[in-house]
Amino acid sequence: MNNKTARPWFILRFILIMLLLTAAVLPFGKAQQNKPSIILKIDSSKSISGTMGDYATVKGVIQNTGTETIKGINTYISIVDVVNKVPIDLEDWSAQKSIYLDILKPSESIPLDWRVHFITPGKYSLSIIAITPDTDQAFTSPITHFDIQPKVVLNPNNSLFVAIGMPLAILILLLSIRYLHNSRRKR
């Protein structure tokens, strides 16, 4: 190659190398370092079971594994009906919708507790979710499965009272009439 054809290739390579270096530095700059690092765990059993109407406490932990303090963390639970494949409205299941954390310092762990009321029998999965205002990523815990058995009711709709009470009331009425009839006869 002569000097005239080598010079444009040199300039082109130089520009290409500068572009690659610039592209490599930009994504890993300050924006990448400020990304929160959160780990969520459920300390409760991997499998929870109960009966409709029971209460259970879901215990979890949130940990900051990063090097900077994280502010404004909102944590909440998500429950999904596994059989019907639909999310559950937490209005009846948990009075405490979310737990808000003002700050989470580096390497700090904070326990999280939700009291859950088993409303409907079935198979469900539960996870803890955390969101922060500084990121567009949600952090989730591993899933815990739970099975809710139907509540056995011996007297549904108070029919036992009617089924036993009415014949018993009629029997008492008939015995009373017979007693009164016999007592008047003896006079």
> Which among 54, 48, 49, 47 is positioned nearest to 151, based on CA atoms?
54
* pTM beyond 0.85: no
The domain defined by 36-149 folds into: Immunoglobulin-like (2.60.40)
CB–CB of 121/149 below 8 Å?
A: yes
CA distance 146 to 79: 10
Please report, for residues 40, 127, 143, 146, 147, the alpha-carbon distance to residue 43 in angstroms, rounded to integers and kept in the order given: 10, 11, 11, 14, 17
Span of 6-10, 114-118, 150-154, 160-164 with lowest mean pLDDT: 6-10
Assigned token pair, 137 = 């990523």
Q: How far is CA 4 from the centre of its chain?
A: 69
User: Angle at the Cα of 91 (from 88 to 97), degrees rounded to 5?
Assistant: 95
The yes-or-no verdict on residue 30 having pLDDT over 70 is no
Q: What would the pLDDT profile of 107-129 be if each residue is shown by its tens digit?
A: 999 999 988 888 889 999 999 99
Domain spans in the chain, listed from the N-terminal domain onward: 1-33, 36-149
